[in-house]
Amino acid sequence: MLAPFAAGLLATVTGYLACDADAPPYDPIAVARASIGHTANREAQVPSMCYTKTGGVSNPCWTCHTDSQSPNHQNDGALQAEYSFSAFALQNRWTNLFVDRTAAATAITDAEALAYIRTDNYAPLRAALNRSRPADYTGYVPDLDLAAGFDAEGFARDGSGWRALRYKPFPGTFWPTNGSADDVMVRLPAAFRASPDGTPTRDIYKANLAILEAAIASPPGGSSTIAARFVGAARDEPVRRRLFPAGTELLHTVRYVDPDAPALLSTRLKELRYMRKVASLDDWAVLRAYEKERDKKDRGVVSAFAGSPLSGVRNDFGWQLQGFIEDATGRLRLQTEEEHRFCMGCHSSLGVTVDQTFSFARKVPGADGWRHQDLRGMKDAPQAGHAEPEILTYFKRTGGGDELRANVEVLQRFFPGGILEEKEVRRAAPGGDRDITHLIAPSRSRALALAKSYMALVREQTFAHGRDTLLAPPANVFARIDNDSTELATRGKIFRDGRLWLDWN
């Protein structure tokens, strides 16, 4: 039997999704509003991959949990050696991992899947929020015209100030072979886009974005120097290494993998994710925020986050986050309170992040990195301080192409007979004859199968139980976990050198 809130939420969803003439109009906010004050999984910020069975031989944990670089003071590399969950989180509540959707996915034809992923659900969201925005909604209203696209320098043609950046996907879940493609746009406040007299000037904006790139994407210990201050109307703003200025916005679309699209990006969005840095903390406040986080962890206290879905949910480091996700018919709706909590795990104090973010630090250097995301031509550059290519390193340390070692296609392609075929992987390295799509792009059949599986999940609307894109329940995952050794230390499998930055040279 459904709990009272779940039953009410289901009724809300069913009501506004109904197709009869008496149904209310498309309201992207309704489900989120109904969810406020109702969160079942209080540890939804602990992602599903943290429940992986390492078996003492597979270590995907190093990509996130590592020795951090100031002003990130998390230093959580010890989590590779020991499971360290709150009492509540010992039970794996991402139960969608254990659901087999093969029958539901198989019932969807290739033609149906392709038509679905090539249908725009972003423009209707913009139209709905601009047509009748609820008075209690104070959050982000999408203002980027995706259909208009970006010019040769990556700037949005609509004049909104958004600029696309091209970056190497973070290892594991975010590779297209694991079900999703994505892109990221950045926007700085108006002062960073204007001359000293306040006149909007592209050259000033480009200069400030270049300064930001040097501050965020340059690896620690390198020879790069950064400016002391930004320029133009933002000339009084100090540049802080590995910290974004207040007012910075990041827009991230998560999409299906379209096997026929040159950049693999589907028209339809799975999710629209938005971050805005609403406050800039001084060095002491940043350090104190990390100390508070460690203290809560040591005492087993479940984290609380300020805000709500209607305004955005805020972490302790000055970032406010909001997300939209598909409803049962594929329209985008604001995420529930619990679904927003899911976002906070990766954007609230991981050892690897740069100011709680991932993508900008992995930007392709210079002008070639200022355009819409496209993996073609991108080489498997090593992480900063590493000698070997990043994806090759991930394959070696993880023993597969995802955290749960459930990607059968990667295993068949690059681990024949269970042995990594290193020479084939190195073809995507600098100097090789292939790019990273050789390693992390799915075959057409896999892309369509993954799309169908996720479509089945969308129709269920059970994101509170997980949103992983899987073709079958994975074997290497715990349903319940004990706070004990991962067995990785005794096997010499601890790696505290994970970095977002890449050695593009």
Give 302-340 pLDDT, tens digit per residue: 778 899 999 999 999 999 999 999 999 999 999 999 999
Task: Report yes or no on 343 lying in a domain.
Answer: yes
494 pLDDT tier (thresholds 50, 70, 90)? very high
Mean pLDDT of the residues in the chain? 93
How many structural domains are present in the chain? Answer: 1
- Read off the pLDDT of each residue in 221-237 and give the average, rounded to a whole number: 91
Tokens read off for 150? 């970006």
CA distance 3 to 20: 27
Query: Which residues lie across from 313 on neighbouring strands?
Result: 307, 321
364 in Cβ contact with 372 (< 8 Å) = no
Task: Report yes or no on 478 lying in a domain.
Answer: no
Share of the chain above pLDDT 70, in %: 95
pTM here? 0.94
Task: Report yes or no on 234 lying in a domain.
Answer: no
- Whether 3 has a pLDDT exceeding 60, the answer reads no
Task: Report yes or no on 295 lying in a domain.
Answer: yes
Q: Residue 256: which residues within 8 A CB-CB, separation 6 or more? A: 117, 180, 181, 266, 268, 270, 450, 451, 454
Question: Residues 397-415: pLDDT tens digits?
Answer: 999 999 999 999 999 999 9
Task: Report yes or no on 36 lying in a domain.
Answer: yes
| Residue 314: domain span | 4-189+246-465
Please name the residue that has the structure tokens 């290193």: 422
- Whether 47 has a pLDDT exceeding 80, the answer reads yes
CA distance 352 to 67: 7
Query: What phi and psi values does residue 205 have, to the nearest 5 degrees?
Result: -60, -45
Question: Residues 247-301: pLDDT tens digits?
Answer: 999 999 999 999 999 999 999 999 999 999 999 999 999 999 999 888 877 777 7
- Read off the pLDDT of each residue in 152-169 and give the average, rounded to a whole number: 98
- Read off the pLDDT of each residue in 474-493 and give the average, rounded to a whole number: 95
- Whether 235 has a pLDDT exceeding 70, the answer reads yes
- Read off the pLDDT of each residue in 230-243 and give the average, rounded to a whole number: 98
Residue that wins the pLDDT comparison between 191 and 348: 191
- Whether 17 has a pLDDT exceeding 50, the answer reads no
Query: What phi and psi values does residue 431 have, to the nearest 5 degrees?
Result: 95, -15
Task: Report yes or no on 477 lying in a domain.
Answer: no
Query: Which residues lie across from 332 on neighbouring strands?
Result: 326
CA distance 268 to 239: 37
Amino acid letter for position 153: E
- Whether 350 has a pLDDT exceeding 80, the answer reads yes
Could you say which DSSP state residue 141 is in?
-
- Read off the pLDDT of each residue in 166-185 and give the average, rounded to a whole number: 97
141 pLDDT tier (thresholds 50, 70, 90)? very high
Residue 296's pLDDT is 78
CA distance 375 to 435: 8
Q: Give the residue among 125, 127, 46, 57 at the shortest CA–CA distance from 89.
A: 46
- Whether 87 has a pLDDT exceeding 60, the answer reads yes
Residue 8's pLDDT is 42
For helices 444-460 and 110-117, give the axis angle rounded to 10 degrees.
Answer: 70
- Read off the pLDDT of each residue in 152-163 and give the average, rounded to a whole number: 98
- Whether 433 has a pLDDT exceeding 70, the answer reads yes
Task: Report yes or no on 344 lying in a domain.
Answer: yes
Task: Report yes or no on 13 lying in a domain.
Answer: yes
- Read off the pLDDT of each residue in 128-137 and give the average, rounded to a whole number: 91
- Read off the pLDDT of each residue in 357-383 and give the average, rounded to a whole number: 98
Residue 24's pLDDT is 60
Query: What phi and psi values does residue 388 have, to the nearest 5 degrees?
Result: -110, 155
How many residues does this entry show for the chain? Answer: 505
